Every structure is written in C-alpha cells, then in structure tokens.
Amino acid sequence: MAVPKKKPSKARTSRRRATYYKSIKVATVECPNCGEPMLPHHVCLNCGYYNGKQVLEVKE
C-alpha cells in the first residue's frame, strides 16, 4: 500500500480545501428597460418588465 513520505503542509491542505468555500459568481445582465442589473431570462424586479412587456406591477 502506498504511504506518503512527508506530511502535507498546512498551506497545501488549506489551498485544496479553499475551493469549497469560494463564493458563487452569478451572471447578471442589464435590464433593457430600466438599466438595472437582473438575472438573465427573469423578470426585472425593479421595473417588472420581461421581453419588452410589463409582467409585474411594481409598487414604488
């Protein structure tokens, strides 16, 4: 059975484990109606438009 010759350093171990704690990057696009950032293929929560049509009534 294979046995490691040396103990992995703390930096190497931490670097490997750090991949699980990365923040998730969310893609955003600019709303063509109001210019606010929004999720692609979703209704804009700022103005209520989707695909050039008013879908939601947004209270101000």
Give the chain's domain count.
1
Query: Does 7 fall in a domain?
Result: no
- Reported pTM: 0.59
Query: Does 53 fall in a domain?
Result: yes
Query: Does 10 fall in a domain?
Result: no
What are the residue ranges in the chain where pLDDT is below 50?
Answer: none
Query: Does 35 fall in a domain?
Result: yes
- Tell me what pLDDT residue 60 has: 72
Q: CA-CA distance, 7 to 39, in Å (whole number)?
A: 45
Report the helix count and the strand count for the chain, using DSSP H and E.
1, 4
Query: Does 3 fall in a domain?
Result: no
Domain that holds residue 52: 23-60
For the record, the structure tokens of 39 come out as 């999720």
- Tell me what pLDDT residue 5 has: 95
Query: Does 28 fall in a domain?
Result: yes
Query: Does 5 fall in a domain?
Result: no
Query: Does 13 fall in a domain?
Result: no
- Tell me what pLDDT residue 24 has: 87
